[in-house]
Structure 1
Amino acid sequence: MFTGSIVAIITPMTSDGKICRSSLKKLIQYHIKNKTKAIVTVGTTGESATLTQKEHNKVILLSIEFADNKIPIIAGTGANSTKEAILLTKKIEYSGVHACLTVVPYYNRPTQKGLYQHFKSISENTNIPQILYNVPSRTGCDISPETVIQLSKFKNIIGIKEATGDLSRVHQIKQYAKKNFLLISGDDSTALDFMQLGGHGVISVTANIAAKEMSNMCSLALQKKFCDARRINNTLMPIHQSLFLEPNPIPIKWAAWKLGMIQNNYIRLPLTQLSYKTQLILKKSLRISKLLN
C-alpha cells in the first residue's frame, strides 16, 4: 500500500486564508487519476504548523471524503509533546485514514532514549499503523538508525520517512529492521538513489505537480528498471532542486497555482510569497521539465 510515489500534498487555501475545499478535491482527483500510491495530508508541505487543531482535523476528514477509498490517506499527527501526539493520533484513529506520519519531536531535542520512549508510547496507546518521520533540518533532532531498528519491532510501527538525504541509512536500517519495514525517502533529489539501494518509495513534494512522472519513475524503480527510471528523474531534477530554493511549501504552492491546479496562492505567515528571483528560476525549471509551455 505504501510503496512507490506518495504525495506530501499541499493544503490549498482561499484568498482570505480558509481551507479551499474545491481545490483540495481537484488535487486529490488528480492524484487518483495519475496513480499516486497514497496521500500524506497535513504534513510539512500541508502547512500543519500553521493550521489550528480544528482545521487540521477538517483537512484530514475532507481528504478521506474526497479520496472515496480510491487512494490511501496518511495523516500527519506528530507533535513535540508525547501526550499531544497520542491525542492527535487517537482522534483520527477510526476516521478512515490508513496510517499516521509521526515526526521526530521538534524544538526540545530529546536523546535517543527519549525518542524511543516517545514513539513507543504512541505505538502502545494507539492501533493505527505508524510511519516515523525523520527530518533533522526542521526538528533539530535526528533519530539514529539504531533507534529506528529498535522501534521497528513494534507491530504498528511499519516504516520511516527518511528526509536526511543520507543514503547510507538505507542499508543500515534494512539489514536489521523487521522484515517488510518500509523505507521511504523524504528527499526528491535523492529518492531514486534511495530506492536503488533498497528503499520502497518516496513521500514527494514534486509529485504535487508531476504526479504521473513521479508515479512512473517509482514504478520503474520498483521493477528494477533503473535506467528508464533515471531518464524520467533527470527530466524532473530541475524541479526537485528548484522547489527547495525557499522553505517548503512556498515554491510548490506557487508552482501549483501557476499551473492552474489551485485557485489561489495564499500561504500563511510566517511563510511569505515566493520571491520574484525564485519565480524566474522555478518557471524555467517547469519549462525544462515540460510541465509549463
Structure 2
Amino acid sequence: MAFSLATVTQWMAGSMTALVTPFKGGEVDYDAYAALIERQIAAGTRAVIPVGTTGESATLSEREHIAVVTHCVETVKGRIPVIAGAGSNNTVAAIRLAEQAEGAGADALLATTGYYNKPPQSGIEAHYRHLAEATDLPILVYNVPGRTQTDVAVETLARLSTVPTIVGVKDATGDLGRVALHRRACGKDFIQLSGEDMTAVGYNAMGGQGCISVTANVAPEQCAQLQDACLNGRFADALELQDRLTALHEALFVETSPGPTKYALARLGLCREELRLPLVPTSERSKAAVDRALDELGLL
C-alpha cells in the first residue's frame, strides 16, 4: 500500500471523489476514465473512489469491477489514495471483491451494508467483521439507507469501531446529529466522512473530516477548496464556497445519481452521458437545471 493503516487518520480526509464509470458503446471507456482521474488529481482531490454507487457498481460484472479498480490504481500511480468500492448484498461476493481490490493495489475499501435483503443489525455487524478478517486494508463502513434500506445503528458502528481495520464511516444519512453520536460511541479518532454534498460543511463543523463527494466529479477544484477550508477551520470561506456550489449539489440529485452528473460531464466534454439500464439519461427538465448550475459556476 502507498498509504498505510498507521497514518490513515491523516490521509483519509478532505475532498474525495466518488468517481463515475464512463461508458462508450456499452463498455467501460478507460481512456475517459483516466482523463477524469487526472483532472481530479490536478484539482487537489485527496482520494478517488472507483466503483462505488456513483460508479454504477451494481451493473458492473465482477471482471469489470476489478478491471476498473486496477485501471484506477495504475492511473493514479500512488499520487493519492484509491479507496475501492467493495459493496455487495452477498458477503462472500464482497469478500471476493475486497481481496481482488487489495491485490490490485487499492489503499482502502468502501463497503456498503448490503442492499435489497435488509439484514438486521447482527447481520450488518457480521458482514463487516467477515470482510475485515479477509483483508488487511482499512475499511470504511458506507451507511446509505436511501439506497440500501438498512441503517447502521450507532451501537452497531461502535462495536465495529473496535475492529482495528474498520477505521471510519461514510455517512449518507443526512442526519448531522449522527456525527456527535458517533464521536461519543466510536471515539474521536474514528474517521467520519460525509456522503452528502449539501450538508458537508455542517458535517465537518460537527466533527467530520471530509466528504466522499458526487459534486466533485463536476467541480473538483471548488470542492477541494471547500474541504481544505474546513480542515483549516476557515468555515466562513467554506460557507461562501458552499453557497456557490449549492445549485450544483441540488441539480445533480434532481434525478437518480449519477444520471445528472454524467450529463454535466458530457456538457464539459469529459465523457459520454451513457448509463447502463435500468438507469436512463436525464430528462430535459433536469438537464436545464444542471445547465443553469454549471453556468452559475462559470463552468460552461
| Same fold? TM cut 0.5 | yes
* Aligned residue in 2 for 1:55: 64
Output the CA distance in 2 between the equivalents of 1:64 and 1:31: 14
* Distance in 1 separating the partners of 2:210 and 2:75: 24
Where does residue 172 of structure 1 map in the other structure?
Answer: 181
Name the stretch that deviates more: 80-89 or 133-142: 80-89
* Corresponding residue number in structure 2 for 1:13: 23
Which of residues 178, 187, 202 is equivalent to 2:196?
Answer: 187
Q: How does 1:15-94 map to 2 (within 5 A)?
A: 16-94=25-103
2:142 maps to amino acid: Y
Partners of 1:58 and 1:125 in 2: CA distance: 20
Aligned AA for 1:7? Answer: T
3-state secondary structure, aligned to 1:78: coil
The answer for unaligned runs of 5 or more in structure 1 is none
Does residue 2 in structure 1 map to residue 9 in structure 2? no
Task: Tell me the distance in 2 between the aligned counterparts of 1:155 and 1:33.
Answer: 32
CA-to-aligned-CA distance 1:17-36 (integer Å, 9 cap, x gap): 11111111111110111110
Distance in 2 (alpha carbons) for counterparts of 1:92 and 1:231: 38
Match of 2:171 in 1: 162
Contact 1:99–1:128 (8 Å) recurs in 2: yes
**AA in 2 matched with 1:11:** T
Q: State percent identity of aligned pairs.
A: 38
Q: Distance in 1 between matches of 2:165 and 2:121?
A: 20
Q: Which residue of 2 aligns with 1:208?
A: 217
Secondary structure of residue in 2 paired with 1:65: helix
Secondary structure of 2:216's aligned partner: helix
2:276 alignment counterpart? 268
Q: CA offsets per residue over residues 199-253 of structure 1, 9 Å max, x none?
A: 0000000000111100010000111110011101100000001100000000000
- Counterpart of 1:12, as a letter, is P
Q: Matched residues in 1 for 2:65 and 2:163: separation?
A: 27
Is the deviation greater in 104-113 or in 238-247? 104-113
Matched residue type, 2:53: T
Aligned letter for 1:149? A
The residue number in structure 2 matching 1:250 is 259
Q: CA deviation at 1:179?
A: 4.4
For 1:185 and 1:178, how far apart are their aligned partners in 2?
A: 17
CA contact (8 A) 1:153 1:178 kept: no
Alignment partner, residue 105 of structure 2? 96
Checking the alignment, whether the CA contact within 8 Å between 1:133 and 1:162 is kept in structure 2 is yes
Cα distance in 2, alignment partners of residues 179 and 275 from structure 1: 43
- Candidates 224, 236, 240, aligned match of 2:245: 236
**What's the secondary structure of 1:216's corresponding residue?**
helix
- Segments of 4+ moved more than 6 angstroms: none
Matched residue SS, 1:93: helix
Corresponding residue number in structure 2 for 1:117: 126
> Please, what TM-score do these two structures have when normalized by structure 2?
0.95
CA distance, structure 1, for counterparts of residue 223 and residue 123 of structure 2: 36
In the superposition, the TM-score normalised over structure 1's length comes to 0.97
**1:28-61: CA deviations, max 9, x gaps?**
1101111100001000110101111111011000
Contact 2:259 2:273 in 1 (8 A): no
Kindly provide the amino acid, as one letter, of the partner of residue 254 in structure 2: L
Partner SS state of residue 184, structure 1: strand
For structure 2, the 5+ residue unaligned runs are 1-10
Partner SS for 1:94: helix
2:19 alignment partner AA: I
The question of 1:283 aligning with 2:291 is answered yes
